[in-house]
Amino acid sequence: MKNAHRKRHAVVWAALILLISGLPGSLVVAESPAGEANRERPRFDERADERRRMVEMHIRPEIDDNRVLAAMRHVPRHLFVPPRLRGDAYANRPLPIGQGQTISQPYIVAAMTEALKLKPDDKVLEIGTGSGYQAAVLSELTPRVYSIEILESLGNEARERFQQLGYDTIETRIADGYYGWEEHAPFDAIIVTAAAGHLPPPLIAQLAPGGRMIAPVGGPYEVQRLILVTKDQDGEVRHEFLMPVRFVPMTGRAQE
């Protein structure tokens, strides 16, 4: 797979699903509220130096939002990959996690997060919980994170992982993300971590006026277009192409 180094010139290989069992029991966690922007000390001390190097070498050259950079330094990516691959957790590349899936490379996680321009109290919906890594990054910027996973086993694993790691403000649901989460709509931001051939109309409807949505659009197993959707205060929707990407396909209604 090819790494992405430039927003508009590299094909980014990305995906959403991760299933692991068992987490290390020795974590040093510093108490700090979700969404705080300028923590000097990461909440997870374990392998913090590797995360700092990952940010400086592979993310900071293109991402300049300090809150996003801090989030990438804080979330322990090695606890969101299979144990046998934890040695490579902070390389800037996707990693295979079984079932034909990968966990997205850190750069694409940071780029999509930055594109949402989250404010500290924004309500954000994620489609495709997978391992929970992207949701954990989002929860560093706002505590109001809702995440949907269509595969029950993955959703349950992610929910348990959030509880173990202290990401207890993230709300999860097992459902088809194509339809969004109407009970909690509208959302200030929506992030889709799987590719569909079109933008799901229910998600656009659940995006609040002034909101932003980012999603890969295109067929499976081909280069897709990462699209930023914005909705103005009058409800008018605009689309902007950000970069070429490659994500796993969205399942459920999107495949029909």
| 115-122 contacts, C-beta under 8 A, 24 or more apart | 115/212, 115/214, 115/228, 115/242, 116/189, 116/191, 116/212, 116/214, 117/189, 117/212, 118/67, 118/142, 118/188, 118/189, 119/188, 120/35, 120/37, 121/35, 122/188, 122/189
Q: Is 104 a catalytic residue?
A: yes
Segments of 119-236 assigned E as strands: 123-127, 144-149, 170-174, 187-192, 207-217, 224-231
With CA atoms as reference, report the closest residue to 114 among 130, 138, 135.
138
**Cα distance from N-terminal residue to C-terminal residue, the chain:** 28
- Catalytic entry in 104, 131, 139, 147: 104
CA distance 183 to 120: 21
Residue 197 CB neighbour total at 10 angstroms: 13
The residues carrying an active-site annotation are: 104
